[in-house]
Amino acid sequence: MDTVAPGILASFEKDLRDAIGEPRYKMWFQGHTKFSIEEYEILIGVPNRFYRDWLDTPYRAYIEGCVARAF
């Protein structure tokens, strides 16, 4: 999985950026989140509970769709 992971993450991030738009991606994801792969899941590390709750509400459907397409 190690050799596949960078490609999957890059695909996921590009798809998410395209889905929500560059300004919102920069505001809520770029520099604030860390994406990693564990087994067949993309994990999203966030700096605090506020970010977790905020990303879960308006962006959950986008994130889930991008994860599904990445795998």
Per-residue pLDDT, 4: 63
Check pLDDT > 60 for residue 2: no
Condensed to tens digits (0 to 9), the pLDDT of residues 7-47 reads 889 999 999 999 999 999 999 999 999 999 888 788 999 99
Task: For residues 65 and 50, give the distance between their C-alpha atoms in angstroms, rounded to a whole number.
Answer: 22
Check pLDDT > 50 for residue 1: no
- Say what the pTM is: 0.84
Task: For residues 29 and 23, give the distance between their C-alpha atoms in angstroms, rounded to a whole number.
Answer: 10
Per-residue pLDDT, 3: 57
Check pLDDT > 80 for residue 5: no
Q: Is residue 29 classed as helix, strand or coil in its secondary structure? A: coil
